[in-house]
Amino acid sequence: MRIMVFFDLPTITLEDKREYRNFRKFLIKKGFLMVQESVYSKIALNGTAAKAIVKTIKDNRPPKGLVQMLVVTEKQYAGMEYIVGEEKSTILDSDERLVIL
C-alpha cells in the first residue's frame, strides 16, 4: 500500500512559513518522499501500518491549511500516468540493492 499526502498550507506570515517547514520536515523524517511540490508518498506494508501512519499525520497536522491523504495499492500507484514530463526512478523505491541476511 502507499499513502499519499497532499497539502496546501498558507505561507503569508512568518508563523505560517514555520508551520509549513515543520510539517514538511515531519513528513520527510517519517520516511515520505516528495512526488511533486506539496505531494508526498510513503510505502506501508499493510492496512494496519497504513492506519498507524494516517493517525500519526492527523496527530501532527498544522493548525491552518488543507491536508489530504489517500491510501492506494501499489498496483494503483504503478498505474499512474505521466501526462507531461517523464518518470523518474529513485533507488529508494526499488529493492534492487536489497541484502537479506
Residue 92 in any domain: the answer is no
**pTM for this structure?**
0.76
The answer to the question of residue 49 being in a domain is yes
Domain count within the chain:
1
Tell me if 97 is assigned to some domain. Answer: no
Place of cell 508518498: 41
In this structure, is residue 42 part of a structural domain? yes
Beta strands in the chain (DSSP E): 2-8, 33-36, 39-43, 66-72
**What cell does 8 get?**
496546501
Say which CATH number the domain at 71 has: 3.30.70.240
From 32, 52, 31, 22, select the one nearest 9 (Cα to Cα): 22
> Domain limits at 55?
2-81
Note down pLDDT in tens along the chain; length 101 residues. 999 999 999 999 999 999 999 999 999 999 999 988 899 999 999 989 999 999 999 999 999 999 999 999 988 888 888 787 676 666 555 555 656 66
